[in-house]
Amino acid sequence: MKKTALTQGQLQSVLLDMLVSLDKVCRENGIRYTLAYGTLLGAVRHKGFIPWDDDIDVSMPRPDYEKLYALYKEGKISFGKHYLLADDRGEHAEYPFLKLMDDRYSVRSRTHIEVPFVYLDIFPVDGVPALSPMKEKMRFAKMVYFDFVHDMTRWYVYDTWWCHTLRVVCFWFWLLHMPYGRRRSVEKLNRLAKKYPFGEYELSDCTAWGATSDPIPASCYDEFVELEFEGHRFLAIKDWDLQLKVRYGDYMTPPPERKRRTEHTMKVYRNETPD
């Protein structure tokens, strides 16, 4: 099958269409979401994509996230003819969060094993408990461990220097954990995250992926505003300034030139198939 590589601008246009579709579904069904991570930063600092970015991230309080998942599985919502939601549970789970995909575009990456099609990430937001220092270290260690096990089931196909090093240093660890598999790692990460329900704790964060690093008050999800992004208006928590400061510090100052690069190193191809 002949495939044509997309330019970064074309990829961003595809991702924007996906975000427009997700926004429409969420508004029609009363589902709260917020632009997140680099997408939120781009909306505030650039009124659109960070120029060197190649993905879109949104997050949702866990109740809204589960509502979106349930409506999709029941066939009560549709994002569009070519859009589908990658599962975050069951036999086909790859990650402990959802990915909205467009099956017209295939993804290839040297550093990540992703779902087969171009995607938009949807992260659940759970509670962050106020634990004793020892219990917090244990909770954090469990999340990091299963995150690492999850990655170790994929690392053998990566083509980077650090993966070649891992092959040597961590071979026996990898060999022991390969039978455990991605699916069970994802199940464990989701179970640990949902142990602390959103809204029952003062703080919240996306704990199912990358453990907890940037918690903010759960009350931040009580009010939303619209932010401009590539000529459209999308939802963000009203206190977006707090979230950006917690994660990025002086977020309005762009990084030095040498750090202006994406983490994904993806190539995206249009599948030359009839619509």
pLDDT digits (tens, 9 = 90+) for 66-124: 999 999 999 999 998 999 999 898 877 888 999 999 999 998 876 565 678 999 999 99
Query: According to the model, what pLDDT value does residue 267 have?
Result: 84
pLDDT of 133 above 80: no
d(CA 227, CA 237): 10
pLDDT of 210 above 70: no
Among 34-38, 159-163, 223-227, the least confident range: 159-163
Q: Residues 25-81: pLDDT tens digits?
A: 999 999 999 999 999 999 999 999 999 888 999 999 999 999 999 999 999 999 989
* 102-106, 109-113, 148-152, 231-235: which is most confident: 231-235
Task: Provide the pLDDT confidence category of residue 177 given band limits of 50, 70 and 90.
Answer: low
Query: According to the model, what pLDDT value does residue 256 have?
Result: 84
Bridge partner residues of 210 (DSSP): none
Average pLDDT over residues 20-26: 98
Query: According to the model, what pLDDT value does residue 1 have?
Result: 52
Question: Which CATH number among 2.60.40, 3.30.460, 1.10.287, 1.10.443 corresponds to the domain 3-126+205-271?
Answer: 3.30.460
